[in-house]
Structure 1
Amino acid sequence: MMICINVFQVHRETLLHTNASIKEFDLQTRKVTVLYELGATVYSIDYNFKNKQVYFPRYFNNDIMRFGYPAHCIILHKVVSTGNRPAGLAIDSTRNHIYWTESIGSFGRIVRCDLDGSNKTVIAQNLDYPFVLRFDVINSWMYVVERFAKISKSRLDFTEQHLLENIDSDVICMDIGT
């Protein structure tokens, strides 16, 4: 069983994600609250601080969902239907885009759309099982983990690619400091 935990601090709360649920951890009271029981396989989440939305791809449902946070009541909205097995997801709140990885067997691609799900565009194809995406939006870099192959960085339009590390292990999580 793979478990990847993504953590985002929003105000005095921290959002935690596991394969089973999205939780809120209050740093002051140390109380943990389950915001949403996923009921689907989810490998990543991201938070858009501009529109106060949590986004996550459902791996076997082939879609990306979102909900407002903070909120008294969690209401899910389907943003976009994706291709096969979306795993990695990253929000570019500067340009109002969602990026995600898709895999078909051992090959895959990176796709982008607007925050409302419109204007789907394939950014990169024929990647070796892309799984994790992270952004440095200040410097316009996208970091990509291709499972069992490599970690690289490129511009957000997938130009100017740089190999950071060849890997032969299963990397399913990554974060960067900015």
Structure 2
Amino acid sequence: MNCLLFGFMIYVNFIDKGHQHKLIYSTYGNIKETDLITGEVADLLTNLQSVIHSIDYDYQYEYVYFTRFERNDILRFRYPAERPYISETVSIADKPVGVAVDSFNSDVYLTEYGTGKLYRCASDGSNKILILQDDPLYALTLDTSNRWMYYSTYTTSGKIRKSRLNGTEKQTIVNSSHRIYGLSIDAIRGRLFWMEYSSGDLKSSNFNGENEIKVVSTNAASTNIGIHVYGSNVYCATGTTIINVTTTSTMIKNIIYSDPERIFSVIVYKETCKYIKDYVFTGNFMSDC
């Protein structure tokens, strides 16, 4: 067993060299990427005519999914691919804000802000079904290995709730005095991360909402939306910057990118993960991808 693990780690380290390491993020009407190694910035899609509150990636079929709030739809485009990138409609939705991909089951989950409805459909948009309905919904993230989803409700205050992927066992796990616009999980360490919109605080708890801690303040109130956990790094979209918070024994906060426009959502893309998924058939690999 140790020999197999050692061999696997050597393989991962080997293929990681020279592969793509990108941040994919949205501003109003645009989806962009910045290379984590070179710092090079490029437009992927432009003139989308909407706020894009949420982005997620399907490592199985290699698509970026995103919401268009004002245009009432969910779109996707193949990534990486030859330029120009071409988007296609996956589903129509009423003011969609959250989107999350279950790559292992080829499912896409989405939240509608005004109706409070949470839907699931196939990766191509077919077989769309209502999973649950709640207060106005915002952020959404999945724990595919344990079959839970986590979402925030949008009222005068904020709540984080969890349910099974079929909508059962719904329960409130976090009550906050601030609205919560960004959610992500670290499946390996069993931690949930979120940003409080008006306070600017990045917080964390276990999957039941217990052991809640303030990780760090972004020092940018009422601009915090997108968040993505990659290993021990939490990438936060706050105003016109993306901050990397390293959640080691000593919290380290660095601004790694600044844009002329406000940033709404962010995810990490690492080409290595396409190879890891061929060897690890559990949901946990997504926590590092």
Alignment TM class, shorter chain as reference:
0.7 to 0.9
Q: Counterparts in 2 of 1:96-135, with a 5 A limit?
A: 96-104=106-114, 107-125=115-133, 127-135=134-142
Q: CA deviation at 1:168?
A: 2.9
User: What is residue 91 of structure 2 aligned with on the other side?
Assistant: 80
Q: Does 1:25 align with 2:21?
A: no
The letter of the residue matching 1:59 is F
Q: Does 1:169 align with 2:178?
A: yes
How many residue pairs end up in the alignment? 165
Q: Distance in 2 between matches of 1:11 and 1:136?
A: 25
SS at match of 2:51: coil
Q: CA deviation at 1:20?
A: 4.0
User: How big is each residue's C-alpha offset from its partner over 1:64-116, in whole Å with a ceiling of 9 and x where there is no partner?
Assistant: 1110111222001111112x111111111111111111133xx5110111111
Q: Quick check: 1:52–1:69 contact (8 Å CA) kept in 2?
A: yes
Q: Distance in 2 between matches of 1:80 and 1:118?
A: 8
The letter of the residue matching 2:77 is F
SS at match of 1:46: strand
SS at match of 1:95: coil
The letter of the residue matching 1:36 is L
The letter of the residue matching 2:143 is D
Q: CA deviation at 1:28?
A: 2.0
Q: Which runs of 4+ in 1 moved over 4 A?
A: none
Q: Distance in 2 between matches of 1:131 and 1:158?
A: 16
TM (normalized to structure 1)? Answer: 0.86
Structure 2 unaligned blocks of 5 or more: 1-18, 188-289
Q: CA deviation at 1:155?
A: 0.9
Q: CA deviation at 1:154?
A: 1.3
RMSD, aligned α-carbons: 1.6
Q: CA deviation at 1:171?
A: 1.5
User: What is residue 141 of structure 1 aligned with on the other side?
Assistant: 148
Q: Quick check: 1:128–1:149 contact (8 Å CA) kept in 2?
A: no
Higher helix share: 2
The letter of the residue matching 1:71 is A
Q: Distance in 1 between matches of 2:36 and 2:70?
A: 33
Q: Counterparts in 2 of 1:47-62, with a 5 A limit?
A: 47-62=57-72
Q: Which structure has the larger Rg over C-alpha atoms? A: 2
Instruction: Give the structure, 1 or 2, with the largest relative contact order (CA under 8 Å, sep 6 or more).
Output: 2
Structure 1 unaligned blocks of 5 or more: 1-9
TM (normalized to structure 2)? Answer: 0.54
SS at match of 2:186: coil
